Chain A
């Protein structure tokens, strides 16, 4: 546990010191969300209706932003070699690194979402539902993204490949995240149904992501 705590502290400290993580991600989220009214027009009724979807797409893109550095930075400076030789299972190291990444880039997006919801004229209930689904769904985005980050670790321009690899895999999370938010506003299905599936998807990605990412990292070292 001591070793994993050390890794968590190191990764969060690096993320904070290097900047890049939280502030840029939230700024990007803000920009994506503000682009929509310019594209769609100042129709408040329409914005209110597609607001949850806009928030989700913004959060999805913003959470991918810094993901390519998740393992690439450690690979470039040789830290990954040492991590691979430690007595800590690589899968657990991946869990901790992804967790640190979510805490420093995913969680700020969830906190910023209610503020951005004001720009889309969402009512308090819809805002709450969007924030709750993002809180549950963004860890899944990070853990699925970790697979792509591990695959892209040895490639130059890994960030572009990462987006192409990861975005299709996030479609189920996007569908149920937006569906759950919409059912909270207009029904007719109870909020619990799509929300529970979203929780299930997140739990699944928490399990599959680290194993797949660790396997990709081991393979990538060759």
Chain B
């Protein structure tokens, strides 16, 4: 499996955020998307997730399921956690497990995914009482509950304590070991040996022009 993009450009409300971006990630590898604030890291991830239209350039996933589009084979964890405060922790995860289809959403599977992010003891607590870091972990539990080959993670370590960061690193290593692909936008180290895509260099010309 190979995720690649070439000649990608992003224009938001008439301003060019980046242009001429290309990358390629093979199965079992991660790519870190780096750059200053506003360099377009989130936009690039949202583009791969199908949430921002690809106006210029190409995005391809070779060797995936030919019946499915790239977004349908990807997980996206953005700045918002997609957690409903009025539902319990387990209900939140069970819903995404059933809705995204891959997970069988049995109570055991939900518990296993919650255990993987260290939230098993809070399963019956309304999500409104979770801290920012715990909400983020609940959001990441989705990646475990439903299997999808491409993970798109936007600042996945924000709000996480060091134990949770270690847990996330272990989850990402396991995913890569199973032949998955990770695209992560980040400022700090996330504990993976990975190539980096720098958006600054490509956009420096555009920004100063």
Contact = CB atoms under 8 A, between A and B. Distances in A.
A85 B50 CA distance: 7
Nearest to B13: A222
A77 B53 contact: no
A76 B81 CA distance: 10
B131 interface: no
Interface string A55-89: 00000000000000000000011110111111110
B74 interface: yes
Contacts of B78: 78, 81
Interface residues of B, number: 31
Given A78-B81, A79-B82, A82-B100, A10 B76 contact: no
Contacts of B50: 84-85
Interface stretch (A12-20, A31-39, A111-119): A12-20
A134 to B, nearest CB: 29
B72 interface: yes
A79 B99 CA distance: 11
A6 B98 contact: yes
B87 A2 contact: no
B76 A81 contact: yes
B49 A86 contact: no
Contacts of A76: 80
A209 B37 CA distance: 39
A77 B51 contact: no
B151 to A, nearest CB: 12
B126 to A, nearest CB: 9
A84 B87 contact: no
Interface string A145-180: 000000000000000000000000000000000000
Contacts of B72: 85-87
B86 A81 contact: no
The residue among B53, B76, B100 with the most chain A CB atoms within 10 A of its own CB is B100
A18 B99 contact: no
Nearest to A78: B80
Contacts of A6: 94-95, 98-99, 105
A215 interface: no
Interface of B: 46, 49-53, 68, 71-72, 74-76, 78-84, 86-87, 91, 94-96, 98-101, 105, 142
Interface of A: 2-3, 5-7, 9-10, 13-14, 17-18, 76-79, 81-88, 221-222
